[in-house]
Amino acid sequence: MCCMKDSHLPHPNPSDSFAIGNIRIRNRVILAPMSGVTDLPFRKLAFRFGAGLVVTEMIASRELTFNTAESWARLKGAGLTPHVVQLAGRDPAFMAEAARIAEANGADIIDINMGCPAKKVVGGYTGSALMREPERALEIIEATVKAVGVPVTVKMRLGWDRESMNARHLAARAEEAGVQAITVHGRTRMQFYKGSADWDAIEAVAEVVSVPFIANGDIESLSDVENLLGRSGICAVMTGRACQGRPWHAGFLAGAADLPQDIKIETALEHYQDMLSFYGKDVGVRHARKHLGWYLERLAPNIDGAERAHIMTETNPDRVIARLDAALSRADGERKAA
């Protein structure tokens, strides 16, 4: 058991290690999988700066079994260990086969996505749509667990809507079916990312399982981590949107020292260049734009609108790097002078 539910025992520190099955996780702050965000360039940075665990972008099980280029790009681990691969789908046979492919290609842990609220995912009756079909969800879990020898985990939401919050029931049955860790995002599917995550409801789910339980939703600060790890049964936390524009943030929440501003600027520039190498120039320039926007929001919030537009729309990588470096360095200088 990862986290004791005896209130008299000391609560875990974020820097403490824990285990998912036979896999040791180096600390208790995990980077959430985010489609279009946590690609390999981003995960490499987050892991380098101290995230306890990083997870691939969601991979459609059917596409992986059909050998699509995008699914294989998402599957890459580049030596990051443990290598966690998140799969999505509603067909138990495809999920089982995709899990076998992932395991054969280095996956140390398979995570099942039952939490994505995106319309195109839910429209295919997968992701958080499975919260409406607990029996189908359990068929998928059972098939995946039987297909591989590595630990299988599941990430879910509290339910489809406030009238059908069935995460306690599904989490308990998922544990019976053999999953070795459970993550719950503290919103329903119908909330998307609106309102606030319900940490009390997350804790109520944690109380019905004994496998490692991971809390997700609105975890941004050191006090947020301390709050959740102080609750009954919560073993670790998963942070997502708070890391956009700061891939070092999960490591900071786990106890690493905050980075000096010049290292943050160097990281932004390195990230941009790595995306160009990973995707190729034309695709990389487009993929990187949202990350550039987040870096500017985090590190140069007062940037002139016209300059921001130049950086975001420029197609020449050398000019992007020059403008981004100048904008971030200028903002750092203004911050120091204030």
Q: Which structure tokens are listed for 188?
A: 């329903």
Picking from 58, 61, 64, 48, the residue whose alpha carbon sits closest to that of residue 84 is 58
Which amino acid, 235?
C
Backbone CA torsion sign across 299, 305, 310, 312: positive
Beta-sheet strands, E only, within 151-272: 152-157, 182-185, 213-216, 236-239
For strand 23-25 and strand 18-20, is the pairing parallel, antiparallel, or unpaired?
A: antiparallel
**How far is residue 164 from each of residues 111, 161, 241, measured CA to CA in Å?**
23, 5, 26
DSSP 256-322: PPPPPHHHHHHHHHHHHHHHHHHH-HHHHHHHHHHHHHHHHHHH-TT--HHHHHHHHH---HHHHHH
Active-site pick, 2, 3, 116, 235: 116
CB 291 within 8 A of CB 270: no
CB 141 within 8 A of CB 113: no
Is 116 noted as a catalytic residue in this protein? Answer: yes
CA atoms within 13 A on the CB side of 108: 18
3-state secondary structure at position 183: strand
Q: Which structure tokens are listed for 200?
A: 């009390």
CB 299 within 8 A of CB 261: yes
- What amino acid positions are annotated as catalytic residues? 116
